[in-house]
Structure 1
Amino acid sequence: MRALRPATRPDLPALYDCVVTHTRTTPLRSSFRHRTHLWLVDVDHLPRLPCLLRPLAGFHARDHFTATARSIRAGVDGYLAGQGVDLRGGRVVMLAHARVLGHVFNPLTLFWCHDRRGALVCVIAEVHNTYGQRHCYLLRPDADGTAEVVKDFYVSPFFPVDGGYRMRLPLPAQELNVMVQLRRGGLRPFTATVRGRHRPATAWNLIRSSLRHPWSTAAVSAAIRRRGIVLWLRRLPVYPRPVDRTHEGRT
Structure 2
Amino acid sequence: MNGSAALYRTRIRHVRTEPVHNAFRYRSYSWFVDLDALPRLPWWLRPFAGFRAEDHLEAGAGRTLRGRVDAVLAAHDIDLRGGQITALMNARVVGYVFNPLSLFWCHDTDGDLRCVLAEVHNTYGGRHCYLVRTDRNGRAETDKRFYVSPFNEVDGVYSMRLTEPADVLDVRVVLHRYGRAPFAATMRGRRRPATTANVVCALLAAPLAPLVVAARIRVQGIRLWARGVPIAPRPATEEKERAP
Structure 1 match to 2:37: 45
Of 80, 83, 91 in structure 2, the residue corresponding to residue 90 of structure 1 is 83
What residue identity is the alignment partner of 2:79? D
Structure 2 match to 1:142: 135
Structure 1 position 84, deviation (Å): 1.3
1:194 aligns with 2:187: yes
Structure 1 position 245, deviation (Å): 6.1
1:247 match: secondary structure = coil
Q: Distance in 2 between matches of 1:43 and 1:158?
A: 34
Q: Distance in 1 between matches of 2:215 and 2:19?
A: 24
Structure 1 position 151, deviation (Å): 0.6
Structure 2 match to 1:185: 178
Of 30, 35, 38 in structure 1, the residue corresponding to residue 27 of structure 2 is 35
Of 50, 54, 66 in structure 2, the residue corresponding to residue 58 of structure 1 is 50
Q: Percent identity?
A: 53
Of 12, 18, 27 in structure 2, the residue corresponding to residue 26 of structure 1 is 18
Structure 1 position 81, deviation (Å): 0.6
Normalization by structure 2: what TM-score? 0.97
Q: Number of residues paired by the alignment?
A: 243
Unaligned runs of 5+ in 1: none
1:173 aligns with 2:166: yes
Instruction: Tell me whether 89-98 or 60-69 shows the greater mean CA deviation.
Output: 60-69
2:211 match: secondary structure = helix
Q: Distance in 2 between matches of 1:245 and 1:171?
A: 29
Structure 1 match to 2:8: 16
What residue identity is the alignment partner of 1:191? A
Structure 1 position 63, deviation (Å): 0.2
Q: Distance in 2 between matches of 1:150 and 1:232?
A: 26
Deviating runs (4+, > 2 A) in structure 1? 243-247
What residue identity is the alignment partner of 1:35? R
Unaligned runs of 5+ in 2: none
Structure 2 match to 1:71: 64
Q: Distance in 1 between matches of 2:238 and 2:217?
A: 23
Structure 1 position 67, deviation (Å): 3.4
Q: What is the CA deviation profile of residues 50-80 of structure 1, one whole-angstrom value per residue up to 9, with x for unaligned ones?
A: 1000011001001001233210000000011
Structure 2 match to 1:104: 97
Normalization by structure 1: what TM-score? 0.95
Q: What is the CA deviation profile of residues 203-234 of structure 1, one whole-angstrom value per residue up to 9, with x for unaligned ones?
A: 01000100110001111100100110011101
Q: What is the CA deviation profile of residues 125-154 of structure 1, one whole-angstrom value per residue up to 9, with x for unaligned ones?
A: 000011101000001000110000001111
Task: Judge conservation of contact 2:147–2:238 (CA < 8 Å) in 1.
Answer: no
1:232 aligns with 2:225: yes
Q: Distance in 1 between matches of 2:191 and 2:50?
A: 19
